[in-house]
Amino acid sequence: MKIRPSFLLLCVAIVVLMVLVVWFAKRPAKTSVPVAAPSQPVEIVATTPAPLATNVSDSITDHVTVPTPSNALSAPLKSKEQETLDILSTQNDIPIVFYGRVEDQFGNPVVGAEITGSTIIYNGVRAGGQKVVVTSDANGFFQLDAGKGESLGIMPKKAGYVLATTGTEFRYSHLDAHPYVPDAGNPTVIKMWKLQGVEPLIGINKTFKLAYAGVPIFFDLVAGTTVPSGGDLEVIITRAPGLITQRKQDHRDWSIKLVPVNGGIMETDYRAAQVTFEAPADGYQDGYFVQMNHDDPGWYDNIQKVFFLTSRNGQVYSKLSLDFGINDDPNGTMWFQFKGVANANGSRNWEATAPQ
C-alpha cells in the first residue's frame, strides 16, 4: 500500500510536538525576586561557604591562628610586682621643696644656721637618701630644693644653739593620709635653743623593788631613796586581791597615783623631753592618776611614762621617766624605775642635757 507524503509529514509534526512538550515539562520553574520598596531597609544575608576539602582545611588550621575579638582588644595583665612599682613611682616619688624659718626660744631669727635636708627615696627603682645643705638668711628664712622622694628630714646647726623642735620629719608621699604640703607664704618654723649657760644637774637613775603594803610611798629623787614622808614624789598604789598576770582570767583592778610634794606634775613624751632645756614655768597639775580595770581592753600590768616635775616649793625641777610594774604575786614586789635629771638649785635650767 502506498503511503501518502502528507500523512508522513503529519506524523513527523506530531513527534516533534511531543518532544517539545516533554522538554519544556522538565525545565525548572523561574522564581521571582522580591524588590524592596525604596523606603524599607534591605536585609543582606551572608551565606556560609561550603567547607573546603579535608586536607586543605587541616593545613590551614595547622599554620594559621586567627585571634578572637577579645584577645585582639584586651591589654596584657600586670603582675602584682609591676603594680607595686607603678604605685611607688607615682605616689612615692614627689618633688621635695621646703620653705622654713629658724627661730630661737625668744622668737628671734637664727641667722647663718646651716640646714641639712635629707631626702628619703623609695620609688621602686631607688631606695636610699640624698642630702642638700643651705644657710638661713638675715631673717632666718631658708628654702630647700631636695629632688624627689617620699620624705624629708631637717637638721639645723649653729654654734651656741641646739635643736628644740620635735617635728623635723616631713612626709611628702601621697600614700600618706595627710601628706606635707609646702607653702612659700607660710614657712614652717624650726626652733633652736640659744644656750644661756649650763648649770649643774643631778642625775636620776634608780630602781626600787618594794612590797605592796597599801600605804603611800615617798621618793626622794635627789637622794635616790625612799623616805617616811616629804621628798619629791608621793606614790599611792591600789590593787585587787589575788594573782595578776597577762592571762585574761588573771586580770585584776589596780591603780597608781603620783602626787608631787609641794609642787606639780606634767605628762610629756620622750622626744619632747629630749629637746626641752628649760622646765616649763606653768601648766603643771596637782597629780597624775592611772586606773587599770580588769575588763578594760587596754589593761596592762605596767606603765611607762615621762614627766616634768617640780617639787619642794619650786626648789627642784626634774624631767624623768617612770617605769612601773604592779606585783603579780600578792606577796611579791612592785617595780619602780626612775631615770632623768633634776636641777636642785631653784632654777628651771636643764641646758646641761643639750648635746655638746
Please write the tens of the pLDDT for every residue from 52-99: 333 333 332 343 343 444 454 555 667 877 777 778 878 888 999 999
- pLDDT computed for residue 67 by the predictor: 47
Q: How distant, in Å, are the alpha carbons of 159, 235, 258 from that of 223?
A: 35, 17, 18
Q: How distant, in Å, are the alpha carbons of 163, 217, 353 from that of 356?
A: 12, 37, 9
User: Would you say the C-alpha torsion 350, 351, 354, 356 has a positive or negative sign?
Assistant: negative
More confident residue, 126 or 325: 325
- pLDDT computed for residue 297 by the predictor: 94
Cα maximum dimension of the chain: 176
Q: Which domains does the chain have, with CATH numbers?
A: 88-194 (2.60.40.10), 202-353 (no CATH)
- pLDDT of residue 45 exceeding 60, the answer is no
Amino acid at 150: E
- pLDDT computed for residue 86 by the predictor: 77
- pLDDT computed for residue 20 by the predictor: 58
- pLDDT of residue 339 exceeding 70, the answer is yes
Q: How distant, in Å, are the alpha carbons of 10, 189, 226 from that of 16?
A: 10, 123, 149
Average pLDDT over residues 205-226: 97
Return the ∠ at Cα 171 (arms to 167 and 174), rounded to 5°: 155
Write out pLDDT tens, residues 268-324. Answer: 999 999 999 999 999 999 999 999 999 999 999 999 999 999 999 999 999 999 999
User: What's the residue count for the chain?
Assistant: 356
Amino acid at 165: T
Average pLDDT over residues 329-352: 97
Write out pLDDT tens, residues 238-266. Answer: 999 999 999 999 999 999 999 999 999 99
**Neighbouring C-beta atoms of residue 302, cutoff 10 Å:** 12
More confident residue, 157 or 126: 157
- pLDDT computed for residue 123 by the predictor: 84
- pLDDT of residue 32 exceeding 50, the answer is no
- pLDDT of residue 131 exceeding 90, the answer is yes
More confident residue, 195 or 24: 195
Cell numbers for 141, please give them. 628664712
d(CA 6, CA 297): 133
Q: What is the mean pLDDT of the chain?
A: 85
- pLDDT computed for residue 126 by the predictor: 80
How confident is residue 23, by pLDDT bands cut at 50, 70 and 90? low
- pLDDT computed for residue 150 by the predictor: 94
- pLDDT computed for residue 313 by the predictor: 97
Lowest mean pLDDT among 37-46, 234-243, 284-293, 324-333: 37-46
